Structure 1
Amino acid sequence: MENKDYLKLLLDIVEKAQVKLLKEGKGTNEILGYNIKGDTTRGFDKTTEDYLMNEIRKIYKNITFLAEEAGVVEEGKDIYVIIDPCDGSSNFSRGIGVSAIAIAVAPSPFFEEVEIAVVKDIVSGKAYYAIRGGGAFLDGVRVIPSKIKELSEAIVGIDLDFPVKSDLDRVIPILKTAQKVRKIGSNSLELSYVSSGGYDAFVDVRSTLSAENFASARLIIEEAGGLISDDEGNSIVGEIDLTRKQNLVAAGNSVLHEKILELLQ
């Protein structure tokens, strides 16, 4: 099968997982323990991730999963699947309507090798997706990022949940300059907004993000024609490691991207 065939199957799996999560998730809200990052694992996180992994095993063989709750599950090295079963689980657990299922697929465990990406809004059902070299789409419609170049005219998503509150000082110049600021609590989804111009830019410099939060959205943004880098302007490349913490700056165009980077220095 070609990547477009795998993408179709993955979109079907993710849609079924979304329906299952909305139907059963609120009844599995208990905390089961902690994942590889030290974050809490709730019942709906684990049941959704287990479902996704079991269904993905039906279309791929010899998989290594890099999953938020299970960690690294090596069953082979033909394909690597990165999973965040509920990005925005705190939102979901409290009935706040912003969370997403995110999946990325690569032939080897490197960000630059990701070939298929899906980010599914759990509540609305909207799906962002991309195939390397094939563009990015939202529910079948090709997306393009914003052309706004002035921060004073831009809507910027900023994650403000800094573990050390004094580190908030770093983003104050952006807060003061941007036309509007948003913080909704699902990084993969907010990054995907950059691909379609919903956000003009997104910034997360908390040094807390890990690969499952952004591997899928990274491809979607790049295939749409936007930019995503670390907070020094370096490309997000290298081995996918669930324990590696990452800062991100994404923007619809290079001019806005550079202006945000300058404010962060």
Structure 2
Amino acid sequence: MDNDVLNENTLRNLQGFAEKTAIKAGKILIEYQNKISIKVQKDVQDFATNADYASEKYILEQIRSHFPDHSILSEESGSETQSSDYRWVIDPLDGTSNYASTLMMQRYYAVQISLDYNKNVMIGVVYQPESGMMISAIKGKGFHNLNHPILHVDDITDLSKCRVYLRDAKKQMGYNNITKYLQLERHLITYSYRAQGIHEMPIGFMAIGTGSAQGYILPATKGYDIKWWDVAPHILFVEEAGGIVTDFTGAKINSDNLGKGIIASNGKIHGKLISLGKNFYSK
């Protein structure tokens, strides 16, 4: 595959593979709903179930079968490094706690598959088994779901008219970072139309890509970091919708530089958000 020209036809084929694999993995998650068991307790409210592993097992088998020379980064099994410039990034069950919940209002969960080429996200696929919604993108070709062929950010330039989401805080951030977080939150409340914390990363990114929000800020600290499999497809979605995604300094995001958080926006207020967040990583 690495000898192939990375043209649109190649990318479409890879996208089709990712979409079909995500749909099948989603069916596996549905099948496991009545027999969920926790296999690994990672944190107080962070765990992996038998469904996580079943979904991951299927996805990995498909990748190894079709693309044996490709590298893989997956949430539960970690990294498999090959000589290829391609790397599949897998979250076999994003939203495990929601999946395991009996409350329908907490039922957002998804299969996430993306493909990096030379550390650039080229393909992103997110499939939500409960709704059957497929969100998919190829770099340079826009992003879409089944109901909306092409989705775009909006063009609001006035921060005082913007809705901005903020990644929710956890005590693992540490006292000093919590203090900085509250200062950032206060700035956002003061200068935006509405600022609110949000737990579900996909919802924050999708709000930017569909124009229902204009900014999403995700601080990252030791003890409260950001994982590439959680954000890779969504970064592509925002960029393909015409938005901008950087770290808090304005640097381009890839899997190697997640230590200084993420700021996603419609592109019109990006500089203002960076300015508001500039003190978060100051000593």
| 1:168 counterpart (177, 181, 190) | 181
Amino acid at match of 2:213: Y
C-alpha change, 1:148 and 1:124, in structure 2 (3 Å) is farther
Partner of 2:262: 248
C-alpha change, 1:183 and 1:121, in structure 2 (3 Å) is farther
Amino acid at match of 2:240: E
| 2:29 counterpart (21, 38, 57) | 21
| 2:234 counterpart (192, 203, 217) | 217
| 1:83 counterpart (73, 83, 90) | 90
Which one has a bigger Cα radius of gyration?
A: 2
Question: Could you tell me whether the CA contact under 8 Å between 1:98 and 1:184 is conserved in 2?
Answer: no
Question: Could you tell me whether the CA contact under 8 Å between 1:34 and 1:40 is conserved in 2?
Answer: yes
TM-score, with length taken from structure 2: 0.80
Deviates more, 1:180-189 or 1:59-68: 180-189
Partner of 2:270: 257
Question: Could you tell me whether the CA contact under 8 Å between 1:64 and 1:73 is conserved in 2?
Answer: yes
Corresponding residue SS for 1:235: coil
C-alpha change, 1:157 and 1:124, in structure 2 (3 Å) is farther
| 1:98 counterpart (85, 104, 108) | 108
| 1:123 counterpart (121, 124, 130) | 130
| 2:206 counterpart (192, 196, 200) | 192
Structure 1 stretches lacking a partner, 5+ long: none
Please give the alpha-carbon distance, in whole angstroms, between the structure 2 residues aligned to 1:70 and 1:252.
Answer: 34
Are 1:205 and 2:215 an aligned pair? no
* Structure with larger RCO (C-alpha < 8 A, sep 6+): 1
Aligned residues: CA RMSD: 2.5
C-alpha change, 1:189 and 1:29, in structure 2 (3 Å) is farther
After superposition, the C-alpha distances for 1:99-121 in whole angstroms (9 at most, x for unaligned) are 3322211233x1xx221111223
After superposition, the C-alpha distances for 1:214-258 in whole angstroms (9 at most, x for unaligned) are 111112211221000111211114xx35x95451110112x3111
Deviation at 1:199, TM superposition (A): 2.5
Question: Could you tell me whether the CA contact under 8 Å between 1:45 and 1:86 is conserved in 2?
Answer: yes
Amino acid at match of 1:149: T
Deviates more, 1:50-59 or 1:209-218: 50-59
Q: How does 1:12-91 map to 2 (within 5 A)?
A: 12-25=20-33, 27-34=35-42, 40-74=47-81, 77=84, 79-91=86-98
Partner of 1:144: 152
After superposition, the C-alpha distances for 1:183-208 in whole angstroms (9 at most, x for unaligned) are 44332443133122132221111331
Deviation at 1:70, TM superposition (A): 0.8
Question: Could you tell me whether the CA contact under 8 Å between 1:102 and 1:188 is conserved in 2?
Answer: no
Amino acid at match of 1:257: H
Deviation at 1:58, TM superposition (A): 3.5
Partner of 1:231: 248
C-alpha change, 1:178 and 1:67, in structure 2 (3 Å) is same
Partner of 1:156: 164
Corresponding residue SS for 1:142: coil
Please give the alpha-carbon distance, in whole angstroms, between the structure 2 residues aligned to 1:182 and 1:120.
Answer: 26
Structure 2 stretches lacking a partner, 5+ long: 1-8, 279-283
Amino acid at match of 2:231: F
Corresponding residue SS for 1:133: coil
Please give the alpha-carbon distance, in whole angstroms, between the structure 2 residues aligned to 1:76 and 1:198.
Answer: 41
Question: Could you tell me whether the CA contact under 8 Å between 2:168 and 2:199 is conserved in 1?
Answer: no
C-alpha change, 1:183 and 1:47, in structure 2 (3 Å) is farther
Amino acid at match of 1:14: A
Please give the alpha-carbon distance, in whole angstroms, between the structure 1 residues aligned to 2:92 and 2:203.
Answer: 13
| 1:10 counterpart (4, 18, 25) | 18
Identity %: 21
